[in-house]
Amino acid sequence: MAAAAAPRIPAAGPRTTAAVIAPASVIRLATFTLLAAFAGSAWGTNLLAPSGAGRAVLMALIAAALGAVLLALGAVARAPLRHGAAVAATLLALAFVLEACGVGARLLVPTAWGDLASGISQGIGSLPSANVPYDGADEWVRIAILAGVGGLVLLAAGLAFWPRAARARPTASAVALGVLYGVPAVERNFAHPWLSGAAFALLLTAFLWGERLEREQAWITASLVAVALAAGLLLGPRVDGAQPLLDPQHLADPLAAHGDVFTWNHQYGPLTWPRDGREVLRVKAQTAAYWKAVNLVEFDGVRWRGQAVIDPRARDTEFARGEPQWHQTITVIVRDLRSFEYVAAGTAEQITGTRKLHVRSSPGTFVTGRSPLVPGDSYRVRVYTPRPSAEQLATAGTHYPDDFTSDDLAMALPASVGGPRVRNPFNGRFSARYSMEITFPVFGQHVPALAQTPTNKVTRRGSRLLRASAYAREYALAQRLATASSTPYDFVRRVEREVRRNARYSETPPLTKIPLDTFLFGNRIGYCQQFSGAMALLLRMGGVPARVASGFAPGSYDHTRKEYVVRDLDAHSWVEAYFPGYGWIPFDPTPSIAPARSQAGSDTPSAATGDQRDKGGVGDRGKNTHAAKAGGDSLLKLPLIGLALLLLGLTFVRLERRSRRAVLPVAPELAELVLALRRSGRMPANEITLARLETVLGGSEEAQAYLRAVREHRFGDPGAPAPTRAQRRALRRVLGAGLGPLGRLRGWWALPPRVLHSTQWPTSTTSSATGGAFWSRATSMRQRSR
């Protein structure tokens, strides 16, 4: 019978140091190191750019060092001490592996494990949509990819070298190392795939069978391996078809999250879509800012929209008085968001760190091509985010560049809001499709507004047309505030206070024909779209270039990872006003009572002024809707998990019962013992008797009492009582001893506890699946036992 690690088993006695450093173990450790380093370098080279092969080889060496320690621990006689030391060595190796992955030491302390788990979870969640070799800006994706190397090599080292009673075969370890090599082989086309595969096959063969070969068999084995490799190199290219048998990219598509879809044009209707607090972005930046997606430059007479025709090559701002610290490079990591717009801040100057197409859609903003940004994408943006003081803005003056006053001081006046009926420029007929465009004079210029027809005919009757339209009250209010203001900055602040005055925040305002007029002079109810839209319109009417910006508020700051966490609740609209020499400065008129999560952290008056911000602006939702961190469908997940565990338990019981059925008949009193020995890997030879088994198996007195009870019932008194619960537990401990960290579970599997214990022996014929001839001849067994 194979030796067990029970106290009385001779084979489980103290091991000598010579046994630990036997040549077979050295061969296994050497081949493991070469195989892990080769497979790890393939992973790091083909899945990361720049290559992570160096870090991968380092992790392979750490795993090899762990393997050497585990081999040395085989000389420790006491099983608890041996396994405890092995676990400690594994945890230490895991810490070194995480450090090799790029995780800072500050995240390895217990107080930071939550942030470490969150970061790795973020990286893993972004993997399905990440392109390889990955060269994006999200460091957690790189860490997650490298962690795959560390996890596989540590698992392989544990499977190959864990100290146990019986010598383990490296088959399971080879499977882990095969995955380590197979993933990059499937994802990428190697430069020399056939030679690389041949090298891997050679190393794998040496790892699996190198320690088992006798010296005289080595040349025969080498010849067979050489023939197999030569055949593979000849036949492999010929059977490699154009279409893959298994397309991993197709399998990965269902795993990719579609994310939320945002539409930024103003609607002014009630917010009816759900918002559950999921992460949509993570932004690394030196200073907080509003994370902008689009500029809403055009006011069509009813609502603010993105400008239809615009020259993307035009400049968005000027940097005459810009401070160096106002330029920064931010890193944006897309979480649960699907967008064709690149989310940046202030004026986006340049985008790097992404393979996605990035083109200017308008001055200061970028969009992708046909392929949108999806969860897992990341990029870097060079942005200009000015933060001048109130004194600087008050003295900025009104010397606006000529190319900043045409579009940003205009509005459309269609017939639907009381504007004049305009002729169709193609047939000369009056048509409601065409609007008169009103352009306002710069602040401080007391001249009438201009009116321009679709045929480019310009007159100075713009002010008169406005006074006869539905926006007469807005125009009069803007003129009154501008007259009372000493500077454009003074005017901006007066407009901001006026928009907030007596206004009430609500996400369910009634939708009216002229929403901004109703908001300013009617119900005074609205959310961020009403507040920002009304303020931008009044600023233009008073001669200050203004526009609406849409995107996200800064979000909450993660001090451990030093990045801003932006959620769907942070979707927002605000106002940007232009100041000569500084550029576009954000102002947020939405009141502080809005149920928002964050604000722009800045002590300058030109930054966000409320404590909390409304986050309206979410449009169509993606099909993939996750729950909030602490709510949503998490309540539904609990019963599903419970149902899955129940099904798993029923499956376990079913398999356990089926495993008791025999190919060969075995006496009822022997069936449980035979099954337990087989499951624990301790099946003896036919020459072992029950009396001899007591001596060989050993263990405590109660464990031997179990065997005596079986022997007495079989060869002595048929009415003898069945083994007690205590005797079964003792034998279970003996069966699980020396079987590694999962030995206790294997002991339970070998001899599962009975829910309803019976003191009677079974009377029906039971059997063992692979009992063979073990004790099948009762007569000879009885004679040998006597």
Are the beta carbons of 293 and 264 closer than 8 angstroms?
yes
> Bigger pLDDT: 103 or 131?
103
Residues 64-68, mean pLDDT to the nearest whole number: 89
What is the dihedral angle through the alpha carbons of 529, 530, 531, 537, rounded to the nearest 10 degrees? 100
Residues 193-212, mean pLDDT to the nearest whole number: 78
Residues 24-47, mean pLDDT to the nearest whole number: 85
Which has the closest alpha carbon to 181: 63, 46, 52? 46
Residues 426-439, mean pLDDT to the nearest whole number: 73
Q: At what angle do helices 23-47 and 193-209 cross, to 10 degrees?
A: 150
Q: What CA–CA distance (Å, rounded) separates 119 from 281? A: 13
Sign of the torsion angle spanned by Cα atoms 3, 5, 8, 10: positive
Q: Which residues neighbour 704 within 8 Å (Cβ) at sequence distance 6 or greater?
A: 694, 697, 698
Examine the pLDDT at 59 and tell me if it is beyond 60.
yes
Which of 132-146, 230-244, 361-375 is most confident?
A: 361-375
Least confident of 247-261, 268-282, 615-629, 745-759: 615-629
The per-residue pLDDT of the chain, averaged, comes to: 76
Q: What CA–CA distance (Å, rounded) separates 189 from 46? A: 8
Q: Residue 222: which H helix or E strand, with range?
A: helix 218-239
Q: At what angle do helices 725-736 and 701-715 cross, to 10 degrees?
A: 110
Q: What is the pLDDT of residues 303-324, one digit of tens each?
A: 998 876 566 667 777 765 567 7
Examine the pLDDT at 216 and tell me if it is beyond 70.
no
Exposure b/e, 98-118, CB count within 10 A at least 16 = b? bbbbebeeebeeeebeeebeb
Which of 8-22, 547-561, 623-637, 719-733 is most confident?
A: 547-561
Which amino acid does the sequence have at 120?
A: I
In this prediction, residue 472 carries a pLDDT of 94
Q: Residue 501: which H helix or E strand, with range?
A: none
The β-bridge relationship of strands 344-345 and 304-305 is unpaired
**0.75 exceeded by the pTM?**
no
Q: Which residues neighbour 39 within 8 Å (Cβ) at sequence distance 6 or greater?
A: 60, 177, 178, 180, 181, 200
Which amino acid does the sequence have at 459?
A: T
Phi/psi region, residue 524 (left: phi>0; alpha: psi -120 to 50; beta: rest), is left
Q: What CA–CA distance (Å, rounded) separates 703 from 732? A: 8
| pLDDT-based confidence at residue 103 (cuts at 50, 70, 90) | confident
Examine the pLDDT at 18 and tell me if it is beyond 60.
no
Tokens 């047939």 identify what position? 427
Q: What is the pLDDT of residues 718-737, one digit of tens each?
A: 777 778 888 888 888 888 77
Least confident of 157-166, 466-475, 518-527: 157-166
> Bigger pLDDT: 446 or 492?
492
In terms of Cβ atoms closer than 10 Å to its own Cβ (0-12, 13-18, 19+), residue 559 is exposed
Q: What CA–CA distance (Å, rounded) separates 280 from 568? A: 6
SS3 310: coil
SS (H, E, C) 113-150: HHHHHHHHHHHHHHHHHCCCCECCCCHHHHHHHHHHHH
> Bigger pLDDT: 68 or 615?
68
Q: What CA–CA distance (Å, rounded) separates 196 from 208? A: 18
Tokens 């794998």 identify what position? 204
N-term to C-term CA, the chain: 20
CA angle, 629 then 630 then 636, to 5°: 100
